[in-house]
Amino acid sequence: MSRDTSYQAVMARKNEIMKMSMGLDYDVYKTGELAFDYEKMMDDCGFTLEDVVRIQAETKVGNTPLYELKNLTNAVRKTCKPGKGARIFVKDEAANASGSFKARRASISAYVAQQKGYKGMVAASSGNYGAAVASQAAQRGLKCIVVQEIYDSNKIGQPEIVEKARKCEAFGAEVIRLTVGPELFYYNLMVLEETGYFNASLYTPFGIKGVESLGYELVHQVREKAGKDPDAVLITQAGGGNLTGTARGMLAAGCNARVVACSVDLSGLHMASDHDFNRKSFTTGHTGFGVPFAVWPDRADVPRNAARSLRYMDDYILVRQGEVFYVTELLSKLEGMERGPAGNTSLTGAVTLAREMDEDQIIVVQETEYTGAGKHHNSQLSFARQMGIEVRRGDPTEGVNGKSIVIPEHLVQVVGHKQDMNKLRMSYLKNACKHVDPSKWTDVDKAFVAKDVKRDLPWLEEALSKLKAES
């Protein structure tokens, strides 16, 4: 008898499909109504950090260079008070096979898929991760299918996403092109069920383990170059895996540097809106993913998300589209490095953060990504104009998402702004309360939630009392 392939039926079988496509039973980690044994789930991957480094070296991943951006640092110092302007370093993840840090995430999944005898891999991705999975699958002799949102309802595709689809196909993947909407994860589950391929989800323990090598590497590279640990590490925040894996790797290296998330502020635009889909110039690393996944990570395509960014996040900087385009151009002109604008999100945040730090302090921007064709900032700006977006020079704070992009005239105008961390934590608690009534929370649940928001139990009890009083 054929299976029910309606949306409701497929989504109801999510846990069953996940178990089949990864060999991972999430139910065994459940410890409470909300809580699960996160560290046991991560440990059950079976890989040490040394294993991860070895596996990644087999497929052209890892050991990427760290550069000090001396010219950019000097330019920032001209906009600071005397004695301010931290040294800015960048980890050049564009050197990985496929051109982004996501090769690290895909490398472990591909290894596991091969070891477990799967014939192929499936990934749902806006593109960079899809290209990473396709690249790793090709090297492991596996087939690959990428499910990708590319078009609005008029079949108009943003040039960056079209370029990433081309790259997926260049590595031999089949790309299933969708219009924007809620169908992405549904189609992903359908493909997994039909093919019996491995689920190379962004949010599995395998993917997060792969990023731990990045945090570990950058700490040791800074120690070698500067003789001390970094003071802050800037990490582009989307679904949270980048930050989670990097922070875990830093801790494994014995480094307690400040972990700062950074996203492009796309407030006012809805990520699943057909109208808004092509009126944003960033398809990842923005608040449309960064904030929702921070305040409720288990909205992902797996039962329990291994990317839990609030556990590790100390601060959160938001930057504007125009500011990122300006810094992308500046990186090319001052440092001779042409990298994709999405990967320069955290570099833009570093410019703003460096001004408040001392000259002898160190900031590491932990990723870059490749550029070219549709991913180039000039292509993105040309497309924005075609979609009726005003692009001009001036004060970037005057930009209105979906209507205008204002590119700074001077570096001093790259200022960003801080996200309220306490507001994020309270949003997480509200979501947790919606899923399970706080009266049913056990001590295990409370300990889990407190750790998930990087706070202690007294803070949690006070916050819950406040929410109860407000309701």
| pLDDT at residue 329, as a whole number | 97
pLDDT of res. 25: 87
In this predicted structure, what is the pLDDT of residue 181? 79
Share of the chain above pLDDT 90, in %: 86
SS3 for the chain is: CCCCCCHHHHHHCHHHHHHHHHCCCHHHHECCCCCECHHHHHHCCCCCHHHHHHHHHHCCCCCCCEEECHHHHHHHHCCCCCCECCEEEEECHHHCCCCCCHHHHHHHHHHHHHHCCCCEEEEECCCHHHHHHHHHHHHHCCEEEEEEEEECCCCCECHHHHHHHHHHHHCCCEEEEEECCCHHHHHHHHHHHHHCCEECCCCCHHHHHHHHHHHHHHHHHHHHHHCCCCCEEEEECCCCHHHHHHHHHHHHCCCCCEEEEEEECCCCCCCCCCCCCCCCCCCCCEHHHHHHHHHCHHHCCCCCCCCCHHHCCCEEEEECHHHHHHHHHHHHHHHCCCCCCHHHHHHHHHHHHHCCCECCCEEEECCCCCCCHHHCHHHHHHHHHHCCCEEEECCHHHCCCCCEEEECCCHHHCCCEECCHHHHHHHHHHHHHHHCCHHHCCHHHHHHHHHHCCCCHHHHHHHHHHHHHHC
Q: Tell me how far apart the alpha carbons of residues 130 and 98 are, in angstroms, rounded to a whole number.
A: 9
pLDDT average, residue stretch 27-35 = 95
Q: For residue 328, is pLDDT > 60? A: yes
Per-residue pLDDT at 12: 86
User: What pLDDT is recorded for position 15?
Assistant: 80
First-to-last alpha carbon distance for the chain, in angstroms, is 49
Distance CA 214, CA 442 (A): 36
Band of pLDDT at residue 24, cut at 50, 70 and 90: confident
**Residue 223 lies in domain:** 55-95+213-418
365 in the same domain as 218: yes
Instruction: Look at residues 383, 398, 418 and tell me which one is the last residue of a structural domain.
Output: 418
Q: Decide: 379 and 160 in contact? Cβ < 8 Å.
A: yes
266 and 333 within one domain: yes
Residue 1 has pLDDT above 80, yes or no: no
- Per the structure, the count of domains in the chain is 3
Given this model, what pLDDT does residue 254 score? 98
Residue 45 counted as domain residue: yes
Q: What is the pLDDT of residues 67-125, one digit of tens each?
A: 999 999 999 999 999 999 999 999 999 999 999 999 999 999 999 999 999 999 999 98
Beta bridge partners of 84: 358
Are 290 and 341 part of one and the same domain?
Answer: yes
pLDDT at 234: 98
Residues 49 and 59 in one domain: no
Confidence at residue 205, expressed as pLDDT on a 0 to 100 scale: 95
Q: What percent of the chain is modeled with pLDDT above 70?
A: 100
Give the span between the Cα atoms of 31 and 154, in whole angstroms.
Answer: 47
Which neighbouring-strand residues pair with 66? Answer: 91
The pLDDT, as a whole number, for residue 126 is 75
**Phi, psi (deg, nearest 5) at residue 68:** -90, 125
Q: Are 168 and 197 in the same domain?
A: yes
| 270 vs 458, more confident | 458
Q: Tell me: do 192 and 222 sit in the same domain.
A: no
**C-beta atoms surrounding 68 within 10 Å:** 17
- Going by their DSSP bridges, the two strands 87-91 and 66-68 should be labelled as antiparallel
Q: Which residue, of 205, 236, 271, is where some domain finishes?
A: 205
Flag whether 61 is in a domain. Answer: yes
CA 215/CA 259 separation, integer angstroms: 11
Burial class (CB in 10 A: 0-12, 13-18, 19+), 359: middle
Distances (CA, A) of 230 to 16, 219, 342, 418, 433: 43, 7, 23, 21, 37
Task: Map tokens 């000259």 to a residue.
Answer: 359
Residues 413 and 317 both lie in one domain: yes
CATH number of the domain where residue 177 is located: 3.40.50.1100
Q: Are residues 83 and 128 in the same domain?
A: no
On whether residue 170 sits in a domain, the answer given is: yes
164-213 pLDDT, tens digit each: 999 999 999 999 999 987 788 889 999 999 999 999 999 999 999 999 99
Quick one: pLDDT at residue 270?
A: 86
Q: Measuring CA to CA, which residue among 130, 296, 336, 309 is closest to residue 236?
A: 309
In a domain, 1, yes or no: no
* Residue 120 and residue 194 share a domain: yes
Q: For the chain, what is the mean pLDDT?
A: 95
- 60 or 13, which is more confident? 60
The amino acid sitting at 226 is A
Among 205, 230, 256, give the residue marking a domain's end.
205
Task: Express each pLDDT in 249-292 by its tens digit.
Answer: 999 999 999 999 999 999 999 877 889 999 999 988 999 999 99
Mean pLDDT of 41-45: 95
Global pTM value: 0.96
- Residue 2 placed within a domain: no
Whether 311 and 377 share a structural domain: yes
Residue 356 within any structural domain of the chain: yes
Considering the domain architecture, whether residues 280 and 366 belong to the same structural domain is answered as yes
Bridge-partner residues for 147, per DSSP? 124, 176
- Note whether residue 40 is domain-resident: yes
Residues 196, 326: one domain? no
